[in-house]
Amino acid sequence: MINIGGASGGAWTLPPLAEAVVDLDAIAHNTRVLAGRTEADLLAVVKADAFGHGFLEVARTALASGARWLGVTSQAEALALRVAGIEAPVLSWLHAPDEDFGPAVAARVDLSVASVAHLDAVVAAAERVGRRADVHLKVDTGLSRNGATEDDWPELVRLAHGQEAAGRVRVRGIWSHLAGSGLPGDPLDGAQLRRFNRALATARRLGLNPEVAHLAGSAALVGRPETHFDLVRPGIALYGVEPLPGRSVGLRPAMTLRSRVILTKRVPAGTGIAYGHDYVAPVATTLALVPVGYADGVPRSAAGRAEVWIGGRRHPVAGRVTMDQIVVDVGDLPVRTGDEVLLFGRGDRGEPTVVDWARWAGTNPHEIFTGIGARVIRRYLPIRSGRRSGGRERVRV
């Protein structure tokens, strides 16, 4: 339900038109499965609102289920975890060098350092706050995105070591991120692994002794044990998407995206549907109107391929995805207003999955999850084992 406080003190409770139901038991299960595949500690990647799943609920569930660390990209996300009372180690990794890092240092948030300019800014914050900053030096081993190049690495290490000796920082971690598939034998990952080992050796030779080295995300966690080092950083796998195609490790999709039919109509053969009439009903059929569109994260680019689950069967999305609505061709199925519509779910009954939507839209599940709009209510199913209860309501999905 959506609760809206009225200006005059009144309030309304409205049923949601769409909701993302997040099964915290699946998050707990996935955390345990992933933690069980490695000797390394697990950092749960909860950036971008835990890939749209709700970062506090996911963070608490993951920590209660075997994760030791949390990973985010911004100080704002890291501080929100601290404000919520989460004390676990948090690494934040994407910053501009002109940020004031004081709040993160004061809140004991570990900061990634990718350049001398970033190091200087963190050192300045540590001096201001009067507290040593914990940093993870990032080396670019081949993704060519964030991190110091191999050429700049020795200089960054030397300066960081100097600041460590002066008590302003502790180099707690050395890390990098992979560009490849995570499949055993992928030469891209192999080359990065060799560069990472060289960077680690350089750091140790120049006097650093980091507590954790880390390189692997979901795919390498599943596919390449030699990349695990001391810490692994799964994101998408936590949410139940198998990171290696054809190599299931028994993950459970955590999110179900559902809506309901708000109007049905019978139309004759030849009826054009939605803007441009890209879809024309081939025979007389029933159309079901579903109040979700691209403003809710239903990708416009999936039109022509996408299907949804109504009444125990898949049906095609007819015509274009519009901002707030889709039309579904349900044929002769006796669909009624109020019937449940699953856009994606676990897939075990035949309903579409987030992986299907990613394929239909020509993207990855990460983008589908993070694109789910603010109008979509998040609802949480609690952990069923009774170890923790992360949500109040239970709904059938």
Q: Where does this chain touch ligand PLP (CB under 6 A) — which range of 232-240, 249-257, 278-286, 315-323?
A: 232-240
Compute the 3-state secondary structure of the chain and give helix, strand, coil in percent, each to the nearest 5.
30, 25, 45
Q: Got the DSSP string for 279-313?
A: EE-SSSEEEEEES--GGGT--GGGTTT-EEEETTE
Establish if 141 lies at the interface with ligand PLP (CB under 6 A): no
Single out the segment in contact with ligand PLP by CB under 6 A; choices: 119-127, 211-219, 261-269, 352-360: 211-219
Binding residue (CB under 6 A) for ligand PLP from 52, 234, 253, 293: 234
CA distance 258 to 381: 14
Q: Looking at 235, 253, 297, 382, which residue binds ligand PLP (CB under 6 A)?
A: 235
- Min dist CB 390 to ligand PLP, Å, is 21
CB of 79 vs ligand PLP, minimal distance in Å: 19
Nearest to 66 by CA among 238, 236, 226: 238
**How near is the Cβ of 243 to ligand PLP at its closest, in Å?**
6
Which of 27, 236, 342, 354 is in the footprint of ligand PLP by CB under 6 A?
A: 236
Handedness of CA 205, 206, 210, 214 (dihedral sign): negative
**Min dist. Cβ of residue 4 to ligand PLP (A):** 35
Which range touches ligand PLP (CB under 6 A), out of 194-202, 229-237, 328-336, 389-397?
229-237
In whole angstroms, what is the distance from residue 110 CA to residue 215 CA?
16
Q: Report DSSP letters for 71-113, one per residue.
A: EESSHHHHHHHHHTT--S-EEE----TTS--HHHHHTT-EEEE
Environment class of residue 106 by beta-carbon count within 10 Å: exposed (0-12), middle (13-18) or buried (19+)?
Answer: middle
* Min dist. Cβ of residue 177 to ligand PLP (A): 4
206, 212, 213, 218: CA torsion to nearest 10: -170
Both tokens of 346, joined, read 């676990």
- Binding-residue pattern over the window 54 to 93 for ligand PLP, x denoting contact by CB under 6 A: ---------------------------------------x
Segment contacting ligand PLP by CB under 6 A, of 23-31, 82-90, 196-204, 212-220: 212-220
Q: Least distance in Å: CB of 77 to ligand PLP? A: 13
Which residue from 95, 161, 170, 233 is in contact with ligand PLP, where contact means CB under 6 A?
A: 233
- Residue 228 in contact with ligand PLP, rule: CB under 6 A: no
Question: Comparing C-alpha atoms, which of 106, 100, 196 is closest to residue 153?
Answer: 196
In one letter, which amino acid is 183?
Answer: L
Considering the rule CB under 6 A, would residue 177 count as an interface residue with ligand PLP?
Answer: yes
Indicate which single residue of 31, 65, 218, 285 sits in contact with ligand PLP (rule: CB under 6 A).
218
What tokens were used for 320? 């274009």
Residues 21, 45, 148, 327: which binds ligand PLP (CB under 6 A)? 45
Instruction: Give the CB-nearest residue to ligand PLP.
Output: 235
Q: How far is CA 282 from the centre of its chain?
A: 39
Question: In a 3-state reduction of DSSP, which class is residue 47?
Answer: helix
89, 217, 297, 299: residue in contact with ligand PLP (rule CB under 6 A): 217
Q: Which span sits near ligand PLP by CB under 6 A: 154-162, 217-225, 245-253, 333-341?
A: 217-225
Closer to ligand PLP by Cβ: residue 243 or 291: 243
Tell me if 199 sits within 8 A of 141, measured CB to CB. Answer: yes
Query: Locate tokens 């987030």: which residue?
Result: 354
Angle at 253 between CA 183 and CA 324, to 5 degrees: 115
> Residue 142 or 217: which CB sits closer to ligand PLP?
217
- For residues 68 and 384, which CB has a smaller minimum distance to ligand PLP in the complex? 68
Active site residues: 47, 275
Q: Nearest approach, Cβ of 178 to ligand PLP (angstroms)?
A: 9
Nearer to ligand PLP, 182 or 390 (CB): 182
Binding range to ligand PLP, per CB under 6 A, among 54-62, 205-213, 214-222, 306-314: 214-222
Burial of residue 73, with CB atoms counted within 10 A of its CB: 0-12 exposed, 13-18 middle, 19 or more buried: middle
CA separation for the pair 321, 294 (Å, rounded): 7
What is the crossing angle of helices 187-205 and 153-165, to 10°? Answer: 40
Q: Which residues bind ligand PLP (CB under 6 A)?
A: 45, 93, 177, 217-219, 233-237
